[in-house]
Amino acid sequence: MNIFKVWGVRNRILLTDQVEIDLLNVKKDCFCSTHSHIGKINKFYVVDGCFEIQTPFGTKVLNRSGSFTVEPPMVHRFKALEDSTIIELAYVKRGVIDEKDINRLKQGGRIINGTEFTLDEIEKQGLK
């Protein structure tokens, strides 16, 4: 199942009570929402491209075969420095995966002419 986002496409590979695996195709200069989770751990693995994970502790740039794990409740977001293919493995140590386990602080979007725009700003201003 493909889920289209402002940053690209999420293709769900597996969903169980404790694990979800998605293939992310993230477009260059696009980013997800700034968010955190209560119980869900995210591990990102770069299949192809150049991708970064931003946290309050800094930014980690990942190239092919690079990986990074975000433990809750760390605030994070990802951004593609070039078209990128990512495997996202999300899992819980206790309990079950909860789709509502996300606290969005800022909407995702795209960088256009060097400026970050959220999805709402892109739609409001008619940007492409």
Residue 28, CB-side half-sphere exposure with 13 Å CA sphere:
7
pLDDT at 69 over 80: yes
Q: Is the pLDDT of residue 41 over 80?
A: yes
Give the number of domains in the chain: 1
Which helix (H) or strand (E) is 86 found in, with range? strand 84-91
Which residues neighbour 3 within 8 Å (Cβ) at sequence distance 6 or greater?
A: 9, 10, 11, 12
- Domain range enclosing 96: 2-125
Is pLDDT at 119 greater than 90 in this prediction?
yes
**3-state SS class at 9:** strand
- Predicted pLDDT at 65: 98
- Alpha carbon 46 to its chain's center: 12
Which CATH number belongs to the domain containing residue 96 in this structure? 2.60.120.10
Residue 127 has a pLDDT of: 87
Question: What distance in Å separates the CA atoms of residue 38 and residue 72, rounded to the nearest whole number?
Answer: 6
Average pLDDT estimate for 60-64: 98
d(CA 124, CA 107): 14
Q: What is the pLDDT of residue 1?
A: 82
